[in-house]
């Protein structure tokens, strides 16, 4: 588990990459089109570091609040401009140049997503195979014919290999509003069936909040692993209690522990509570006392399990491609997530999805830490997702966002003259209010998840 400092560092890394790429898009296109750039800032507030570069002496700044950034260009609306430099002012540029400069920020976010997704697929994406474990009695999955051991190989004829694919494809179907989803399954005897699941009681919130499989009545098949330790982390609760690699947990508080799942559940549900453990060490039975650390309400002791040799082949699957196919897959994924983000925003506006699904910086920080902790492919996937989301949100026609400027340019194109400065100021105030309300809601949701979930 990452410490608070590590989470903050991971969050800063993610935000810095996203903001730098977005603002570099504005900067690069502005420079190519002859507009003078005065400042390129990563973050807001007090400058922690600054450096002037190039013939224009553009000021590059790292600021104290790493929650955004900006590119300041020469503009007559923000101060006097020397006569010899007026042709380089942003407001003096023809409409297509201003449009290109504004749209470049979100476009570079999409380009970043394509790059990181290509790297992700080349590195390999590993996940649990879509094998069905327990099927809840009288659930809609059981009524459709699901049985333990079935493997889901397609959702509405879209091929799936991992559980992540199954949930993603199911969400796409639910967004279209049908009441049935067809799951193609393969049995342990290699027979193939199409099972029709009635999902009229399902909501998009069930997917967004991670409850989809539970409400469906299915749990992923998870192998039963012995409670044998492969590694004891340094300076952990387990190390201080005397646990060592190769130890087998036999019981907790005189309750037999049959496998790793039982051990993990007992530890996670006893944060900060003393546990009497019976351990088998070098064929000897020992009794030790340990107290799991309390990490966000869950007990942790700092150990890793011993994974059986056949686990990876039997239960995990890896998607791995060469550059060409990885690039094509990245284009498809970037497009799909862009459309999904837009559709989810639309469903929130029409109240078909709860506003509780809106996340803020605390949630992003938490998942940044988890993504870094879980390896390169997971980190790249997370970075691509946030980059696409940033690109899409910035294109929304909200004043102060890039999309708001583009909306004004569309009006200018239609009416033949720019929007009046007074009108623009009014809409900017409205946009600021909307953004502050949205940010407030996101932070409120973050704290609610943090303290009440």
Which residues carry out catalysis?
23
Question: CB within 8 A of 85, min separation 6: which ones?
Answer: 36, 74
Cβ atoms of residues 405 and 95 within 8 Å? no
Say how many C-beta atoms besides its own lie within 10 A of residue 330's C-beta: 22
Question: CB within 8 A of 30, min separation 6: which ones?
Answer: 37, 71, 73, 90, 101, 104
Cβ atoms of residues 375 and 13 within 8 Å? no
Beta strands 275-281 and 284-290, pairing class? antiparallel
Burial class (CB in 10 A: 0-12, 13-18, 19+), 387: buried
Closest to 1 (Cα-Cα) out of 306, 236, 266, 307: 236
Q: Which residue has the tokens 């009635």?
A: 198
- 395: DSSP letter: T
Cβ atoms of residues 67 and 361 within 8 Å? yes
Beta strands in 131-228 (DSSP E): 132-135, 151-155, 158-159, 180-186, 192-198, 218-220
CA distance 393 to 402: 9
Closest to 269 (Cα-Cα) out of 285, 287, 253, 245: 253
- 396: DSSP letter: S
Backbone dihedral angles phi then psi of residue 147, each to the nearest 5 degrees: -135, 155
Say how many C-beta atoms besides its own lie within 10 A of residue 318's C-beta: 13
Beta strands 303-305 and 293-295, pairing class? unpaired
Point out which residues pair with 251 in neighbouring strands. 256, 278
Closest to 10 (Cα-Cα) out of 66, 94, 51, 54: 66
């Amino acid at each position: 588990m990452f410490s608070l400092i590590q989470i903050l560092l991971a969050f800063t890394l993610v935000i810095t990459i996203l903001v730098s790429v977005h603002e570099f898009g504005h900067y690069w296109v502005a420079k190519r089109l002859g507009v003078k750039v005065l400042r390129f800032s990563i973050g807001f507030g007090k400058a922690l570091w600054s450096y002037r570069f190039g013939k224009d002496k553009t000021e590059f700044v790292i600021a104290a609040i790493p929650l955004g950034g900006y590119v300041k260009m020469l503009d007559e609306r923000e101060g006097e401009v020397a006569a010899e430099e007026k042709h380089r002012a942003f407001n003096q540029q023809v409409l297509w140049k201003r449009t290109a400069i504004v749209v470049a920020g979100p476009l570079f976010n999409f380009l970043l997503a394509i790059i990181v997704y290509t790297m992700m697929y080349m590195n390999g994406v590993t996940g649990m195979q879509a094998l069905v474990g327990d099927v809840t009695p009288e659930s809609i999955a059981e009524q459709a014919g699901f049985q333990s051991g079935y493997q889901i190989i397609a959702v509405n004829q879209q091929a799936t290999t991992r559980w992540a694919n199954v949930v993603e494809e199911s969400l796409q179907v639910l967004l279209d509003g049908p009441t049935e989803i067809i799951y193609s399954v393969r049995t342990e005897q290699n027979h193939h069936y199409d099972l029709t699941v009635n999902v009229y009681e399902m909501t998009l919130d069930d997917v967004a909040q991670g409850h989809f499989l539970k409400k469906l009545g299915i749990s992923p098949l998870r192998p039963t692993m012995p409670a044998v330790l492969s590694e004891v982390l340094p300076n952990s609760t387990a190390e201080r209690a005397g646990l060592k690699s190769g130890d087998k947990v036999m019981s907790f508080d005189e309750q037999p522990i049959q496998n790793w799942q039982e051990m993990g559940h007992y530890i996670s549900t006893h944060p900060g509570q003393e546990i009497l453990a019976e351990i088998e060490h070098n064929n000897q039975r020992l009794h030790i006392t340990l107290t799991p650390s309390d990490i966000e309400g869950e007990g942790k002791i700092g150990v890793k399990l011993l994974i059986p040799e056949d686990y990876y082949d039997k239960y995990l699957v890896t998607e791995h491609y060469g550059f060409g196919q990885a690039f094509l897959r990245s284009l498809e994924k970037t497009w799909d997530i862009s459309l999904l983000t837009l559709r989810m925003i639309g469903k929130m506006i029409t109240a078909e999805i709860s506003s509780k699904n809106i996340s803020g910086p605390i949630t992003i920080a938490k998942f940044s830490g988890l993504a870094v902790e879980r390896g390169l492919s997971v980190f790249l996937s997370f970075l691509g997702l946030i980059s696409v989301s940033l690109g899409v949100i910035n294109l929304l026609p909200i004043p102060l966002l890039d999309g708001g400027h583009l909306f004004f340019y569309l009006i200018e194109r239609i009416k033949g003259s720019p929007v009046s400065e007074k009108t623009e100021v009014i809409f900017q105030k409205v946009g600021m209010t909307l953004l502050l309300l949205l940010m407030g809601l996101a932070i409120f949701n973050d704290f609610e998840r943090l303290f009440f979930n």
